[in-house]
Structure 1
Amino acid sequence: MQSAIKSQEIVSDTSRLAGIVSKIVRSDCDQLTAVPGLSLHRRNSASASVHCIYGLGIGVTLQGCKQVMVGKEVISYAPGQSIVTSVDLPVISHVTQASFTKPFLGMMLTFDSATVIQIAERMRLSQRLRNDGFRPINVQALDVGVHDALWRLVRLLSEPQLLETLAPLIKEEIIARLLSGAHGSQLLHIVTGSSPSQHIAKTLTWLKLNFRHALRMDDLAANANMSPSTFRQHFRTVTGMSPLQYQKQLRLQAARQLMLTQYVDASSAGGSVGYESSSQFSREYRRLFGEPPQRDIKRMRLQQIATNR
């Protein structure tokens, strides 16, 4: 009974936070803010699937509904729920409920892994790590304390003279509350150096920086202190895909950004992210994004023009 009442209170509070975000984000877009790592999101209609990478952090739906696909798993989250990602994950996301009169509104806040580790050590939480099945992305009811801290963080956008001083403190509070709450056991897996998931998290960090290079599976497994077969099994458990599939998604998403933002041609973009064959790049790009590179980028630019009108 009490949990149901708390859930209703959070949804009600979330609607008030949605009102503030709606006033800040007037158009259909993803808006970065003056708070490092904080972005606000609005969609006036249900959206097509978008390939992107979720990093370490928390996402909250304030109004509407959103779905995220990790590997073959589909995760939905609505107002009153929070989604926390503990490692860098290529995902497919789309807004499932939104309209012009009641748009989708959401926010995301990313964290620095070193800060998470420092706070966990300060709180002496690594000793509480349970042998739960590790889930790199997890949905829970939004904690009342986390909601209150997010409210204060967004309110800081209207107080620029205090933002630089208070924003880091509120972010640390949010991390501490997540570590001690329902998301804690998942975040603690990346803190404990001896856990297999922490070794995989380090591998993912390395791959994110070195995806252009050819993969040597035996070397990756040795660096993670695992046999190749055990490494593949743990890697797939954490990410929902194989190491080669993970690298491929990183490469293709990086190439897409190069073409979209820096007007690099498809052949050059493919070469810059590690592809030796232009035809292989185009084939794998179309398989992931549904269209050849040039057609896909043209469509995305037209969408940007229509959104900005």
Structure 2
Amino acid sequence: MSDEPQAAIRRLAPLIERQAARYGLYTPIEGLMVSRFFSPSEPIATVQRPVYSVIVQGMKEAMLGDRLIRYRAGESLIAGVDLPVTSRIVEATSQTPYLSVSFELDHATVLELLGEHPTEHSPGQPVVPFEISEFDTRLADPLARLLELLDHPNDIPVLMPLIRREIIWRLLQGPFAPVLRQLAWPDGNVARIARATNWIRDNFAKPLRVAELADFVSMSAPSLHRHFKTITTVSPLQFQKQVRLHMARRRLLASEGIGLVAYDVGYESLSQFNRDYRKLYGLSPSQDVIRVRQDLQAPQPQVAR
């Protein structure tokens, strides 16, 4: 990493540390997440929203289907559609914690900024829903302002949309543009599958009928199933299950009751919820919540009391 990206990364590090200590993973700005881990983590399964993410310190690896992706400090990642990913922190210590900032992408803003000439994508181009590149230093300033905005909550409703547009505009001018431009080709498979994953996310607690979902995105059911699995690596029903469990996990981390959460995310059987949860996360819901909270907690200083 050259001197310029290093200087940009150093600017973001203390902001992430401060806000992670204050809020944990999820901040009051919708879609803005900060991560701070003091040791390597166990694999964590999640459903990745369309997101732009920057690692400021440490290293992480992720499995998307059978593809292993490793990225480290000074590198950034983009996911153009919702994707089920299993990831883990591989470099983090109490002295040099893993630090990252992630910002969910808004498809409507992407399409708006692309304007009347939305895409250069053609049917012959390969589908690339997930990519990594060196950090674009032009994004350091808007990301820093977004993190600083957390200190001024009254300004968030007015300034956050402006900063979000700036971030997406910069992404459209940089190496991640091809990933985002696929979304603006309305008859393309990426855009259609993105609409399908969005629908599942918005209606995850409802029964999923694949034929109706296929009609919604103007595809045949076999075509939807084939392209859905090619792009996301799972079937629509598997995707819905992972979304349900991911949403349940977020609510459990907010100290909501297991039984209430299970039924609210669409499960009719608590025992089935517990089995699916353990299969995806490796632990029971209560054990998993304890583990995640311990991973995020700062090590306590050794001070005589």
Report what 2:272 is aligned to. 280
| 1:1-309 to 2 correspondences below 5 Å | 7-21=1-15, 24-25=18-19, 27=21, 30-33=24-27, 36-121=30-115, 124-130=116-122, 131-154=124-147, 166-266=159-259, 268-300=260-292, 303=294, 307=298
Distance 1:75 1:116 in 2: 25
The one-letter code of the counterpart of 1:248 is K
Shift of 1:206: 0.7
Contact 1:44–1:100 (8 Å) recurs in 2: yes
Shift of 1:150: 2.6
Shift of 1:50: 2.1
Partner SS state of residue 24, structure 2: strand
Distance 2:144 2:66 in 1: 33
The one-letter code of the counterpart of 1:292 is S
Q: Alignment length, in residue pairs? A: 299
Partner SS state of residue 189, structure 1: helix
Distance 1:288 1:68 in 2: 15
Shift of 1:65: 0.8
Tell me which of the two structures has the higher relative contact order, counting C-alpha pairs closer than 8 angstroms and 6 or more residues apart: 2
Partner SS state of residue 254, structure 2: helix
Q: Normalising to structure 2: TM-score of the pair?
A: 0.84
Change (3 A) 1:276 1:156: closer
> Which moved further from structure 2: 73-82 or 253-262?
253-262
1:34-56 deviation line (CA, Å, top 9, x unaligned): 65533332222212222333222
Change (3 A) 1:156 1:9: farther
> Which moved further from structure 2: 228-237 or 153-162?
153-162
Report what 1:4 is aligned to. none
Contact 2:205–2:266 (8 Å) recurs in 1: yes
Partner SS state of residue 62, structure 1: strand
Partner SS state of residue 87, structure 1: coil
Contact 2:82–2:198 (8 Å) recurs in 1: yes
Shift of 1:202: 0.7
Change (3 A) 1:258 1:22: closer
1:263-302 deviation line (CA, Å, top 9, x unaligned): 3234x4333322233333222222111123344345556x
Partner SS state of residue 181, structure 1: coil
Change (3 A) 1:64 1:114: same
Structure 2: gaps spanning 5 or more residues: 301-305
Change (3 A) 1:101 1:244: same
Structure 1: gaps spanning 5 or more residues: 1-6
Report what 2:303 is aligned to. none
Contact 1:88–1:204 (8 Å) recurs in 2: yes
Distance 1:144 1:305 in 2: 28
Contact 1:28–1:44 (8 Å) recurs in 2: no
Shift of 1:306: 5.6
Shift of 1:218: 1.9
Shift of 1:118: 0.9
Partner SS state of residue 46, structure 1: coil
Q: Normalising to structure 1: TM-score of the pair?
A: 0.83
Shift of 1:165: 5.2
1:162-189 deviation line (CA, Å, top 9, x unaligned): 7665543333222112112211111112
The one-letter code of the counterpart of 2:214 is A
Change (3 A) 1:306 1:169: closer
1:87-127 deviation line (CA, Å, top 9, x unaligned): 22232222111112211111112232211211111xx4414
Change (3 A) 1:61 1:229: same
Contact 1:126–1:191 (8 Å) recurs in 2: yes
